[in-house]
Every structure is written in C-alpha cells, then in structure tokens.
Structure 1
Amino acid sequence: MGTPLRQYIYEIGSILGKLGSDLCQQANNINQPMNIHGQIKQTMDNLTYYLHNLNADLDAYRYNLIKDGESNLNPIEIESLKSALHHLINGESYTHNGESSSPTAELYKMMFLIDSLYRLMAHGTQGSKEYFFDKIADKDR
C-alpha cells in the first residue's frame, strides 16, 4: 500500500465509511429510536488514534528529511494532504442569504440546539425565550 501514510488514510476512510453505514442503518430503522452515541464515540476514538499515529509518522519523515535531506514521500500527496486539512479545518460553504458557514460552526450550532431541546423537554417551555435559526431552502443551495 506504499507509505504508512496511505495505510492511515485508508483506515480513516474505512472508519468514517463504517460510521456512515451504521448511521444510515439506524436512520432507516423507523421502528426504533436512534441511539448513535456509541458509534460516534468509537469512531472518534479510532479517528484520534489514526490521526495521532499519522502525525507521529509525519514527524519521523520530517526528522529524516532534516537529518538526511531525503524522503520517500510524494510531494503531490503531501500537498493534497495540506489542501485537504485546510478544507476540513477552515472550509466554508455558502448557505443562503449571502452568508457562509462551516461544518464546525454547524456542529456548534447543533450542540446549542440539542442542549436547548433537551432543556426544554426536561423542564418545559414556560417562560423560555429561545433563538430560532432559519432553515436553508433547496432553492437557496
């Protein structure tokens, strides 16, 4: 499979694919409530493990490049990883009404909404003042 970097990318893709499959199965099973915490937790543990080891190998390649001036890494693959990381960390997408967002911003927004829903369901809605996010219409995509 080439350098260990490819193996880590394969493993990361594999665990994300398994998570996607598990989430699809739960979403399609309309007779049971979704319980996705376990799958997300296991995926995040595995993702952190593979990212950590990928970083350790990248650091070893960096050390060898500094020490010997040589590396068996493909510069195009390193550039591709750099661009992919930029998109994952900083990637913004147009949403609607001239605004943009990112997956991270949407996840934080979702955390707020889930906390709010949980609080409202547990304690009722009397006296609550909640902020409403507007939904993106298909025509605005």
Structure 2
Amino acid sequence: MKKIILNIILLSFIIGLPYIANAQPVGLVPCGNIGEPPCQLCHIFILFNNIISFLLVPGNPFGGFPVVLAIAGLMILWSGFLYIMSFGDPKNLIKSREILKATGLGLLIVYGAWAAVNTLSWFGIIPNNWFTINCPIIP
C-alpha cells in the first residue's frame, strides 16, 4: 500500500513540474512594481476585474483554472461523501441534497449573470468588451 501511495505522489509531482516551470510573476495588482506605472485610482477597477477573472474565467493569466469551479467541485464531493456515509439517516440525506442544490444554484447564479451580461453585450445593449478597462497613465 505504501508503494502505491508513493508512486501516486511521485507521478503527481512529475505531472505538476511543467506548471511550476511555467510560473510567471503576474500579480493581481497591475501597478507599483519595478517597471510598472505608479498606482492610480483607476487601477482599483483593474484590480477588481483581475480578481473576478481569477475566480471565474478558465484560462486566466493567474492560474488557468477558475477557483469557483474548484470550490464547487469540492462541495459536490462533500455532498456525495455525506450521501454515501449517511447510511440511511434522513438528516444527513437532507443535508447532502441541500449542499448539492446550493452548489448548483450558486454556479447557476454566477455563470448565469456572466452569460446575461455577455448576451446583452452581444446584442449591442452594452458596449462590446465591457469587461476590459483602460487606465491611462497620468503623470
């Protein structure tokens, strides 16, 4: 058993090496570092946009996998664990179903709002590229 666990850990480490090597120093705050412009008020909006991108958008420059989906996946796993380990206890069965419903509803709200705004943008009600923020540098 120890040999199997050791092999799984070793394989995970080998598979994860390219991700470590591809690590780039991209921060959520787009200003104030060496070689970057000084921070201004409009950088707050860019920071909020970067946080939303980090949490929701797959393939973002901060990690590639949206945090919201990872948390939702963990909640679905927890719900399944509670469901299996309830052994017919109605209290745990109800709790498991509530967690699963809340997770699904949360994902529906988050990505539904994003899809609604993008659809309005597509029809021209909201300007295109509503999610991009220009921050002119004022000396």
Shorter chain as normaliser: what TM range? 0.3 to 0.5
Q: Which structure has more RCO (C-alpha within 8 Å, separation ≥ 6)? A: 1
Which has more helix, going by share of residues?
A: 1
TM-score by length of 2: 0.36
TM-score by length of 1: 0.36
